Amino acid sequence: MHSLNRRTLLAAGLAATAAPALAACGGGSSASPDAPVQFMLSGDANQGGGYAAMAEKYLEETGIQIEIVDVPYDDLQTKVRNASKANDLPAIGRMPSIDPVWLDRTVDLSEVAAEVKPIEGMYARDEEGKVPALPSDLTAVGMFLNKDLWDEAGVEYPTSFDDNVWTWDEFIESANSVREANGIRFSLVMDRSSHRLNSFLYQNGSEGLRLNEDLSQYEANDATVEALERFVAMNDDEVMPRSVWLTEEDPNAMFKTGQIAAYYSGSWQIADFVANIADFEWVSVPMPAQPDQATNFGAAAQIVVFEGTGQEQQALDFVKWLYSPENYAEISRISGFLPATEGVEVSYEDRQEDFDLYNAAIAASPAFVGEIKSRDLALQAAGTAAPLSGDPVRDEAVKAIAGDISAADAVTAALEQLNESLA
């Protein structure tokens, strides 16, 4: 048996303390006014690098460096929450939604809002009139057809809102005959998302599961259950594959196989389709209306300026510059954004007619869609709702499609969960 002698112990202790000290060189956060202004976002490189291009232009014009930090989308919220705890927030963020964790650390953007005029309902004020965030750009739900299949089957479809826009019954009938004529797999696929489902509900006389005027409760009108029943019935493995909603099969990939007549998705697919579909022609068409013409549109993300970085003024200057009509049109063109401010004309590189159709669809949507968005944003800006785990509307719809519960029960259950988050 050997016991440790003092010298050995001392040496071991020294070695143990030296190791971390050596590795600790470097690090620490910097927030001096001269440091580059950090702009944290997600997916810029995938969307054509619009923000990176604007940062470069800004550097040329002003000599101020904007550093674009591209974070994986699923982790953006976690990341900024942690950065907020670590007191290391970026100067600017492009966030999927407003988070109560950092809501009170945002700079008031009401002055910028007055100047750039975002589309009404796409931004919100809290009780004191503070505007915590501005919409970065809009996205809207829309429909794509596999043009080759429809032409091959000789089935007609509307191409603009001037035509007699079809009803869902007419659309399903047409799409089914395209499927049968071509011997393909399915008539329609729809993304597994409550955003798309809500759009479908709007077109079927429902107003979705929406907040009431004083933000105290979620409600659904009488047409909602019937509309959801219709959607559930469409998931019959003939019109629509059940695999998309039940087991998360990728509808985008399915549409690309050419085995699907129509794809109910949204404006963000255009750039991907231009680059990655070569086997067939595709078109954007007006979505069916039964009886209501509507699309679910909203801010793709929220631009926020964070407090306590020592760079608030530089960040504000950049945001103002970014939203100036000329620059905003440029980034919209590069990244394929639908503009979120009024009176900006964008000439896109590809498929101008598709973007025009989306803008027309937004303009033709009933007022309640904008109202729903502004109430959602007002709730976020108030920061009073508890965060939801998952997406009640989507998750309950999935149960209904699986046949576990009825559409009526799904609506009741989703309302219950949404209202619980308000309590």
Partner 1 sequence: MSFSARQIAPNILLWALAALFLFPVLWFLLSSFKPGSELFTWPLRLFPQDWTLSGYQTAWTRFDFQTYFLNTAIVAVVSTVFTVFVSACTGFALAKYRNRLVQIFFLLILVTTMLPTEVIMPSTFAVILGLGLYNSLAGIIIPSIITATGIFMFRQFFLTVPDELLQAARIDGAGEFRIFFRLMLPIARPIIAVLAIFSFQWRWNDYIWPLLVLNDQKKYTLQIALRSIVGAENIDWAVLLGASVISLIPMVLLFLVFRRQIMNSDISSGLKD
Residues that bind partner 1 (CB under 8 A): 1-5, 8, 11-12, 15, 19-20, 23-29, 42-43, 45-47, 49, 67-75, 78-79, 82-83, 85-86, 88, 90, 96, 191, 252-254, 256-259, 266, 268-269, 272, 275-279
Name residue 260's amino acid: I
Q: Specify the residue, 88 or 229, whose C-beta has the smaller distance to partner 1.
A: 88
Q: Specify the residue, 67 or 173, whose C-beta has the smaller distance to partner 1.
A: 67
Name residue 185's amino acid: R
Report the interhelical angle of 223-234 vs 392-402 (nearest 10°): 60
CB of 45 to partner 1, least distance (A): 5
Name residue 365's amino acid: S
Of the candidates 48, 117, 38, the residue with the CA atom closest to the CA atom of residue 331: 48
CB of 305 to partner 1, least distance (A): 17
CB of 121 to partner 1, least distance (A): 21
Q: Specify the residue, 23 or 423, whose C-beta has the smaller distance to partner 1.
A: 23
Q: Where are the alpha helices (DSSP H) in 93-189?
A: 100-103, 110-116, 147-153, 168-182
CB of 82 to partner 1, least distance (A): 6
Q: Specify the residue, 90 or 400, whose C-beta has the smaller distance to partner 1.
A: 90
Q: Specify the residue, 11 or 59, whose C-beta has the smaller distance to partner 1.
A: 11
Query: Cα(247)–Cα(237) distance, rounded to whole angstroms?
Result: 13
Q: Per residue in 153-173, is it b (16+ CB within 10 Å) or e — as a string?
A: bebebbeeeeeebbebeebbe
CB of 203 to partner 1, least distance (A): 20
Query: Cα(37)–Cα(55) distance, rounded to whole angstroms?
Result: 10
Query: Cα(230)–Cα(235) distance, rounded to whole angstroms?
Result: 9
CB of 229 to partner 1, least distance (A): 27
Q: Which residue has the tokens 């799409």?
A: 175
Sign of CA dihedral 251, 373, 330, 73: negative
3-class DSSP state for residue 29? coil
CB of 259 to partner 1, least distance (A): 5
Q: What is the DSSP letter of 339?
A: P
Q: Which residue has the tokens 């112990």?
A: 9
Q: Specify the residue, 2 or 129, whose C-beta has the smaller distance to partner 1.
A: 2
Q: Specify the residue, 272 or 409, whose C-beta has the smaller distance to partner 1.
A: 272
